[in-house]
């Protein structure tokens, strides 16, 4: 099974299909410019984009803890400390903004378990990431952080679960450019029945 690549200037290397430029522009780099902070008006735009994400029953089961390096240094260090020192901290240290994405598992209406809380919260995180790309910001989401540390440091309620940390900032001008890889469409997208790739022709009866 082959992979097709998508380079960062927006040119599809295979299966060339026109899509919005924002999907090509967004990428999860690691080279952040340590000299540039994210303006507060941009932070608010990220918040607004996440805020308007659709959710089941409009429950909006997400909370975002915004930790800006100069505005909330103690909170920033708490989040930074939850990252892996030998890998994640080495590149995240240059980013001015760390955002903890939390999902609430109980709905606001009856207090029942919401089976879509993580799904909806992930959609909100993606909305924020796309808005960041539109503002020429780079985001990198991290899942392998110390979740228990976040729960304890920020005193999260019992029904709230940290899902990801979004590292936000401007990409360095001298950042290395790597090809982006995706599996072919037929590996993940089926037509009419399981296993029939979108590029395949369904067998006739």
Indicate the domain borders of the chain.
1-29+178-199, 36-174
List alpha helices for 29-140, DSSP H: 40-51, 73-81, 88-92, 117-134
Assigned token pair, 186: 């037929």
Neighbouring-strand partners of residue 160: 104
* pLDDT range class, residue 3, cuts 50, 70, 90: very low
SS3 of residue 85 by DSSP: coil
pTM for this model (two decimals): 0.90
pLDDT in tens, 74-114: 999 999 999 999 999 999 999 999 999 999 999 999 999 99
Q: What is the rounded CA–CA span in Å between residue 49 and residue 45?
A: 6
Cα-atom radius of gyration of the chain, to the nearest Å?
19
CATH number of 36-174: 3.40.109.10
């Amino acid at each position: 099974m082959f992979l097709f690549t998508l380079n960062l200037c927006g040119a599809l290397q295979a299966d060339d299909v026109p899509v919005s430029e924002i999907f090509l522009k967004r990428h999860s780099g690691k080279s952040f410019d340590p000299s540039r902070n994210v303006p507060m008006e941009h932070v608010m735009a990220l918040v607004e984009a996440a805020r308007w994400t659709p959710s089941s029953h409009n429950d909006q089961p997400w909370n975002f803890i915004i930790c800006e390096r100069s505005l909330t240094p103690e909170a920033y260090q708490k989040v930074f400390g939850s990252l892996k020192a030998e890998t994640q901290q080495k590149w995240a240290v240059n980013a001015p903004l760390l955002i903890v994405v939390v999902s609430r598992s109980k709905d606001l209406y009856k207090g029942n378990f919401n089976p879509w809380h993580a799904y909806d919260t992930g959609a909100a995180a993606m909305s924020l990431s796309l808005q960041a790309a539109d503002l020429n910001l780079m985001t990198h989401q991290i899942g392998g952080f110390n979740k228990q540390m976040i729960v304890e440091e920020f005193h999260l309620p019992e029904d709230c679960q940290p899902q990801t940390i979004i590292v936000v900032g401007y990409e360095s001008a001298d950042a290395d450019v790597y090809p982006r890889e995706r599996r072919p469409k037929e590996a993940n997208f089926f037509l009419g029945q399981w296993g029939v790739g979108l590029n395949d022709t369904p067998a006739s009866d």
